[in-house]
Structure 1
Amino acid sequence: MAGLTKKKYDINFYAKVVEKFVQTGECAENAYGETEDPLYLYLLSIMNNPSIKLQVLENEVHARIFYDITTQFVWQFLEQEKFQMQRAQSELGEMESALNWIKEKRDGWQALLRKIKEDYKENAFDEPFYEHMFGDKEQQHDPSVWEKMLSDWEDSFQQKLQEQKEKNLNDRKDFLEKKLKTSLSKIPEYLEEHQVEQEEFFQAWSMMNGLWNTIDFESIRKIVKLQKEYPELLKVANRMGRIADDEGSKQVYVTEGSVYKLSHSQKSDILGVTTGNDLNALLPSELLYYSDSELQDVFMLKYFTQKLQTFRYKSEIMQPSRRLEAKPAVLKGPMIVCLDTSGSMTGKPEKMANSLLIKLIEIAELQDRECFLISFSVATRTIDVRRERQKLMEFFSHPFTGDTDATRMLKDTFRMLDQNRYMNADILLISDFRIPKCKPELIKQMQANREKGTFFYGLQIGIAPNDWVEYFDHMYKVEYQVSRRN
């Protein structure tokens, strides 16, 4: 039953396809050796749309909007497909049972054929042929006949799944395409009108699951803005992200071959004017064709016939492409954020903590690092912030309350380090540090992990006495003005 083990692509596969497109503009159909998967082919059709490509490669904001909306669409589609596969498990079990019928020579083939005929009457299952074959008692116990019947059953099963997948995709296409069109147009307009900085947008947008609305955006943006009011928050984020200049990182260029490299930065070595369809080198006059709805057809015709007027550069367009990579002196492990959610953190401390958490999530996404949140007061809760976004949204909606006890939080942290064998983890404890000291054995375990390469950082919000400083690699501190409007 080889077809049942047919390779299924996960969210990471599709995300890499989209990521490569927004970075380079490449979306070759044979790049990944896949020609039958309807979701993959649909993504290619979107990415090969000149209008979409032009907008996505225009700037990083458009690229980010496209990436997040598209990957969110893929994730939802795969979740639906996963649900349908779970419903199909009972039928897979029946196929396995039928294999035993071959060995045990049991009767019951009539009922089985009726079921297959009913379920796959539109999928070319040849029920009359097998009814004739099994009507002969000798053929009825012939393993080769059963194996062929099971093979045809499996083929019909796979065909039906494929058709259902294509139907589900067709039902969702209009929604995605309208959402992309609206978002790529309206969001940049809003950002320009309200003078939203790019970094503010990236952080706030990352919390919105690709669902744009100005009320939620401005609410999150206010929290993000605290990073300017309290620069220490960014210092902590940079230390956790290991992007400080004194870390020993260096830039390395890696040759990748000769490809068309479409970047968001503009070239400065203009030599003259030529014709082609390089969207990154268009003359401003050509952009006018695209921006005018009545002239877009002219633009598309010139694009497909490579007649667009473009700048020509001394460096030429075809050249060995090089990717800039940062090679850190130390491998980056996961980031684990331990956040005190007790009642004493209510108000401004809670907002500052959430602002820092949003920034760290953005860094984790950019660096493709694992990032976990362990919220604690007396009880604890652990969230994989990159994979459990719904739980993260629920966390942000609940107020901070209760007493403080670091015992369970430290135990959960050490358990996570040990079970996953994490190396070079960066652990951050955010609190006002009105925390009773833990038992000596937990402090010793903390020191033992530091000796293995785990870094412990603390961010104290407020001016309470802090007896924990000596146990951390570095303790940051933020003071704030207490007011009734916290």
Structure 2
Amino acid sequence: MESSKDFQNNPGTAFSGTYSFLESKVSRNKGLRDSFLLHNQTAAVLERDLRSTVAFPRTIPRPMREKIAEIITLEILFDQPYEIKDPERFIETFGAFYPILLTLRNSKPWPKLRKIAKKSKEAGIAGLKILLPLIYEILERFSEDSTSVSGSEYLKGLNAGMDEILRQFEEILKETLLMWENTGSAEFSGRNFHTVKHFGEFALADAVLAFMQKGGYQEFLEKAMERLYRKIDEFVSEMEENLELFDTLALLFPQRNWSYSVKELKKEPFYVQLKMLKNYSAFFEKSPDLRKIVDFIGRCEFEPPSDRIRLSPFGKNRIQSVRFSDSINNLLPMEAAKLLNSSLKKKFYADMLEGKLLSYQLLGKHYTGPPRVKPRGPMIVLVDTSGSMHGAPQTLAKSAVLAMAKRMLFQQRDMKVILFASTSQHLEIELSSRKKMSEKFLNFLLYTFGGGTDFNTALASGLKSLKEKDFQGADLLFITDGKSEVSDELVLARWEEAKKKYNAKVYSLIVGSSGAGGLSEISDYTYFVKMETDSEGSGGFVRLIEHTEQKIPASNEAGNLKML
């Protein structure tokens, strides 16, 4: 036992041990917390996304189907290999699934599927909807699929002597199913499983391990899972080609079972629409300036409260007057010139001591309270579909709207697209949690712009949407060439009132014009963009080459501010 003298001579020893203990405890707690969080996320996926797949009636008891699905989901979707600390104990619970799991882990399609799931969670879930039924079928119906009237037709292509491996595998499959049937469903609940090891003289764990010691068992299982590998390879191939499009469709049509409809991506009615999706997505990706604008619009930002702005002498934005002071920071040039003359130099120091130096009196804005956090809310996008927007501006408008829609849907934020031209041309497309007009949105991408331009109707529509419950506090984005004016003064006045009431921001994206037209009076941020045809001329794509961001305040206190 350590004496008090030893403790006094070496006090760090005790504290070091205590620190190590605390560090170990914190590490364990963090590990438990992460494990608990991962378990909850997996359970949520099983309940929300894989419920119908797991619930489909089978010979395998549902609790065991859920446990197998949990293991596969952890490995594929969350990139967390299920740790098997005691193979024998694992086999006592899962039986023949143990060699199947190890074979899957070492197969070629396995890392490909995990890679796809890492890129897209929705694609990973679609892959699980294909993979899990195939695993269940191997566990349930392998012996039925592997025999024929001619006798072991399944063994064609395998080495001689595989019939013994086939029979042994069929036997451990039967015993596995028998074990699951005889084990009460209550024993499967929770994370600890209590199963019966022996059925008569048959020891399942020993039989499975003995099967895995046989030469050629790996080749046998690879052959047994050929159909599974082929299905997964087909799925991965389709996803690699259409992953971004799949994600977009999964967001637009969340209730659709895309795992069984991947090949529909190349069929009507989606083929033409998907071609347009590809074109507009490609245009957006090669337009870095456009990406910056979309990134900025609708972001979470700190807003100075306009109702708490005061003019302060500590600000330096504005010259208010000239005054006497003892400060040299804001001297008039004529006072500083005294320092160049030996006689006037004494006068300068005398005036400074008496506080009689002529100085500028500066004022600036000062905020009397903390900034408000403007949360990420809904978005209303108003798109000018007049004839002057045909061609390159049309491509830019659709690309920006598509990019914004994908972002809003991914962030689970409501969005409304309002298409306007003349007074008789008006269409609203809502993409909200309560109403998804996905078909109309895809049709909008095929829509050819044409007609006149009426900002009055557009502003009235935007104002009406801003008052709706789901879109109160929404930011608004106008996409237009600015070739129109606002003649309705009442609409402008209502806009100013609505912006203050709902704390809304108005953005204008002006295409191919140097003026914002009637939008200049209501826009908080105006982006002027210039277009030119792609030098490569590939498919008539258009490229954004420059943009200037201008903040146009609603009041006239400050001039136009150029944003960096």
Q: Shorter-chain TM-score: which interval?
A: 0.3 to 0.5
Tell which structure's C-alpha radius of gyration is larger.
2
What is the TM-score when the length of structure 1 is the normalising length?
0.47
What is the TM-score when the length of structure 2 is the normalising length?
0.41
Larger RCO (CA under 8 A, 6+ residues apart): 1
